[in-house]
Amino acid sequence: MSNANIHGFGDGSSRRDNSDRYYNPNDQTPLFFKVSYKGDPRNQSIPSYLKEVICPFFRIYSFSFVIIIINITVYIASLIPYGLEQSTIKSKFLPPSSETLDLFGNLYGPRLRESPLQSFRWIANSLLHAYFDHIFSNCFGILIFGTMLEYLIGTLRYAIIYILSGILGSLFSVLIESKVRSVGASICCYGLIGALLGFYLINWNSLTKIFGINNKCYIILFPLLMIIFMLPIFMDGSDSNVNIYGHIGGCIFGFFLSLFILKPQEEGDTCLGPYKLLFYSGIVVCASFAIVGFLCFYLLDYYK
């Protein structure tokens, strides 16, 4: 198997700044060493040091940065039409009005079934946020966690997983609680966590070489700690329009999407049998859920 088109898109020669912006499987330098400051520490600027410590994989020309800007722009815009939500203004900082969230496309089953024009809500709900802390935690998660995953798998695959895990996570949510209104990019964030677990699975035997860490347990702890860290922030979903079932669905389908969108760095890298087994299981799970789920949601009277 050729390694030229494994992580990222196109062939290796078509990438700009391949050694810096995308993970190159032919480069044997451990991942975290490649983003470390190489010069004299006394000459390193404070912004450079903070970037290396907090978000070493951040790049302006990345999908992560674009989606953060879009989220912030949509949040600011959602504060304008109807002002702040008076019922929660004392307990939440800068909460957009519920009328605005409904206008802009929150996730709400009955509205989705009104007409085909309401289908934009499958994506729009992931761009809306219920209050300032909500958008801050999501954008912070994308900045820290999403930028690393994008560096590992490439922009195109990262964007596909981000968007599709948001849609499938939203479908998972409305199938369980159709009449609960929800917003938040955290569905997509959990999809990225699931995708990283999938990346670990299909590159199991190469993890120590990729990350430069001898103990695989330390590598696995990273996404697990992210889940533990993010759960308390979103546990008040019934009160703040944050979707707990969407988080679970996003993580599940981010994992299965990664199984057929990503590729192993080398043959035999997976820890659960041949890669083709994982590849087809990812396709079957995601495709069957999408087909059956959308048919049930739009055809069954239960979801009216």
Distance (Å, whole) CA 247 – CA 165: 10
pLDDT at residue number 21: 41
Distance (Å, whole) CA 121 – CA 79: 18
Average pLDDT score over residue span 95-122: 91
pLDDT at residue number 101: 93
pLDDT, tens digit, for every residue of 285-299?
999 999 999 999 999
More confident residue, 16 or 52: 52
Given a contact cutoff of 8 angstroms between Cβ atoms, the answer to whether 278 and 170 are in contact is: no
- Say which DSSP state 278 is in: H
CATH 3.40.50.1100 at 59-303, yes or no: no
Given a contact cutoff of 8 angstroms between Cβ atoms, the answer to whether 247 and 186 are in contact is: yes
Q: To which residue do tokens 């009005």 refer?
A: 97
Q: What one-character-per-residue DSSP string does 148-167 give?
A: HHHHHH-HHHHHHHHHHHHH
**Across the strands, what pairs with 242?**
183
3-state secondary structure of 256: helix
pLDDT, tens digit, for every residue of 161-203?
999 999 999 999 999 988 888 898 889 999 999 998 898 888 8
Q: To which residue do tokens 């494994």 refer?
A: 6
Give the range among 29-33, 71-75, 139-143, 150-154 with minimum mean pLDDT: 29-33
Task: Please give the backbone phi and psi of residue 107, each rounded to the nearest 5 degrees, phi first.
Answer: -85, 110
Q: What is the domain partition of the chain in residue ranges?
A: 59-303
66's enclosing H/E stretch is helix 63-78
3-state secondary structure of 6: coil
Give the range among 51-60, 71-80, 160-169 with minimum mean pLDDT: 51-60
Residue type, 70: I
